[in-house]
Amino acid sequence: MKYRHLILLALLLLSPSVVFAASAGLPWETPLTTLSNSVSGPVAYGLSILGIVGVGGFLIFAGGMLGDLLRAILYVVLIISMVIAGKTTLTAFGFGAGAEVNKPEIVYGVTSSDNP
């Protein structure tokens, strides 16, 4: 009886549907990709610039009259706006790709004796 459960478990884990399902990707990759594309678009960039100007001006001119909680919330909005604007700006200059690992180019039919 004990071996029957082990054999059933082994067959279940080694079935092709389980093996191929593991290579499909994680379930949260698609929503995170969609969120990343939404945050890096032109509308998000425009809103982040407006957020930087609006919150920055509000903190400069009315910073002394704000409570601690409201000031902390405004700082969070300011930091999020700076991150979104920075990501879009760095991407426009070519620095937003992060670490890129390129595959080496494979040339078939060339051996070391062919190269002088």
Element (H, E) at 43: helix 42-62
Strand positions, DSSP E, the chain: none
Which pLDDT score is estimated for 114? 54
Which pLDDT value is given to residue 12? 65
| Helix axis angle, 68-92 to 42-62, nearest 10° | 140
The Cα 81–Cα 44 span in angstroms is 9
pTM score:
0.51
What pLDDT does residue 2 have? Answer: 67
Q: Three-state SS string across 49-70, please?
A: HHHHHHHHHHHHHHHHHCCHHH
Mean pLDDT of 72-92: 85
Question: What is the model's pLDDT at position 96?
Answer: 59
